[in-house]
Amino acid sequence: MIEINWDALRAVANSAMRRAYVPYSKFPVGAAALTEDGRMVSGCNIENASYGLTLCAECSLLSDLFMQGADGSQGAAGNRLVAFTCVDGHGNILMPCGRCRQLLFEHSAPGMILETVSGMRTIEQVIPDAFGPRDLEERK
């Protein structure tokens, strides 16, 4: 089991939050996650005048995951997320929305831990009975 330094993970999320592009909502969000191989990935929200096109911090975090070398194959060694946190403009912990929970589930290791407003939770607890790549593998 990999050691999780939550203070360092929160610091990366706060750094990402300061890069958010939020001219409309003025609500910056930063996210950070740890991969199985010990890398940290991060992201911030990027708003758009067409609000529906806004990217959540979790979306840009997943882009960072792939930009750092994830090869797109499910379960590729080291590419899955094991720990995640998300903060607002004041450094307070935020819970990912349902859409982002599904996005995180897609790239999580089983049992990934999320720091949430109600304490530490696994990905399975925050999106129970989720459908994802593991389901597809089981049904081949």
pLDDT score recorded for residue 73 = 55
Residue 62 near residue 96, CB atoms below 8 Å: no
Half-sphere exposure of 130 (CA within 13 A, CB side): 23
For the chain, list the domains and their CATH numbers: 6-138 (3.40.140.10)
Per residue in 129-138, pLDDT tens?
999 887 887 7
Q: Which amino acid is at 81?
A: L
Residue 94 near residue 88, CB atoms below 8 Å: yes
Average pLDDT over residues 93-113: 96
Residue 132 pairs with which residues in a beta bridge? Answer: none
Catalytic residue among 58, 106, 115, 137: 58
Residue 7 near residue 84, CB atoms below 8 Å: no
Per residue in 38-85, pLDDT tens?
999 999 999 999 999 999 999 999 999 999 876 555 545 568 999 999
- pTM (2 decimals)? 0.90
Catalytic-residue membership of 106? no
Distance CA 80, CA 33 (A): 10
Using the CB atoms, write b or e for 117-129: b if 16+ within 10 Å. eeeebebeebbee
Q: Is 38 left (phi over 0), alpha (psi -120 to 50) or beta?
A: left
